[in-house]
Amino acid sequence: MDASTPITSRPPRGRLLHRFANPGRFLRLAARVQPFLTWPALAFTLAGVVGGLFLSPADYQQGDAVRIMYIHVPAAWLASQGYASLAAASLVSLVWRHPLADLAAVEIGPVGAAVTALCLVTGSLWGKPMWGTWWVWDARLTSVLVLFFLYLGHIMLVRAFDDPERGYKAGAILALIGAVDLPIIKYSVDWWNTLHQPASITLTGAPTIAGSLLWPLALTTLGLTLGFWAVVTARLRAAVMERRIRSLLGAQAAAA
């Protein structure tokens, strides 16, 4: 339970969930998986960006600005997917006290916040030529902004405790409250927006996405999703190694 527990202690055997609570086993597996995440992520993203910037045609309504979508849309998907993973990791850490889930929740936070920020920034860049303004209090923009605040609150909270275990627990409870509250926030913001701004600018009437615009989007989505998990895995490995080094140094200091 406390931070001084040696990380090499054996978890109870036979349960699938706890197999990877062994940091050594996790590190070996993660090291093997990492290249299969990193390199395809780079390749797919690069192919998608090249396809999106040079090969696909400009949209007949949006012109070249449509190319922002190739980053914006995957970022938006990853932002919500990231919070869902954060909540899932928090649930596992609260219910099964899984040490890796604690670390996963801590490490998913900043990556999720980064994609959420990317989503907001690209949305703003797209909004300037399309809507003529950097920011609109549109329902989706507003709920993504609140999501960004939830990420930031979690990131600050888990790092605000001297005892990391306390931070994991507090962060997990907060993430679960947020996960329950998030659909309500989304709903309330949608409702607020439709009642307050009936003439909000939407893309209604735009044709469903044409195939020539779709394939680069599929590539960047695949690439960025793999990239998200590549970064999370790399951060997780670094966090496990950091804990290992800290406990080794602690043991050395205790022996000296």
Partner 1 sequence: MNGFIATLQRELTLAVRHGGDTLAALLFFFVAATLFPLAIGPGPETLARIAPGVVWVCALLSALLPLDRMFGADFDDGALDQLIVSGTAASLIAAAKALAHWLVTGLPLLLAAAPLATMLQMKPASLPVLLTGLALGTAVLSLLGTAAAAIVLGARRGSVLLPVLVLPLATPVLIFGTMAADAAATGLTPRPHLLLLGAFLAACLPLCPLAAGAALRAAVD
Question: Which residues bind to partner 1, rule: CB under 8 A?
Answer: 1, 94, 146, 149-150, 152-153, 156-157, 160-163, 166-167, 169-170, 173-174, 176-178, 180-181, 184-185, 187-189, 191-192, 195
Min separation Cβ 247 and partner 1, Å = 20
Residue number with CB closer to partner 1 (120 or 222): 120
Residue number with CB closer to partner 1 (190 or 234): 190
Residue number with CB closer to partner 1 (41 or 144): 144
Min separation Cβ 174 and partner 1, Å = 6
Q: What share of the chain is helix, strand, coil (3-state, %, to 5)?
A: 80, 0, 20
Distances (CA, A) of 188 to 120, 181, 194: 20, 10, 10
Q: Measure the CA–CA gap between 12 and 79, rounded to whole angstroms.
A: 34
Residue number with CB closer to partner 1 (85 or 93): 93
Given a contact cutoff of 8 angstroms between Cβ atoms, the answer to whether 196 and 49 are in contact is: no
Min separation Cβ 31 and partner 1, Å = 33
Min separation Cβ 55 and partner 1, Å = 40
Min separation Cβ 88 and partner 1, Å = 17
Looking at the DSSP bridge assignments, the partners of residue 103 are: none
Residue number with CB closer to partner 1 (53 or 160): 160
Residue number with CB closer to partner 1 (56 or 143): 143
Non-local (6+) Cβ contacts of 87 within 8 A are 175, 176, 178, 179
Min separation Cβ 189 and partner 1, Å = 7
Is the Cα torsion angle 200, 186, 113, 152 positive or negative in sign?
A: positive
Nearest to 69 by CA among 61, 11, 132: 61
Min separation Cβ 191 and partner 1, Å = 7
Look up residue 139 and give its two tokens. 């329902």
Q: What is the DSSP letter of 65?
A: G
C-alpha triplet 153, 104, 2: angle, nearest 5°: 90
Given a contact cutoff of 8 angstroms between Cβ atoms, the answer to whether 86 and 107 are in contact is: no
Look up residue 217 and give its two tokens. 């989007």
Residue number with CB closer to partner 1 (113 or 224): 113
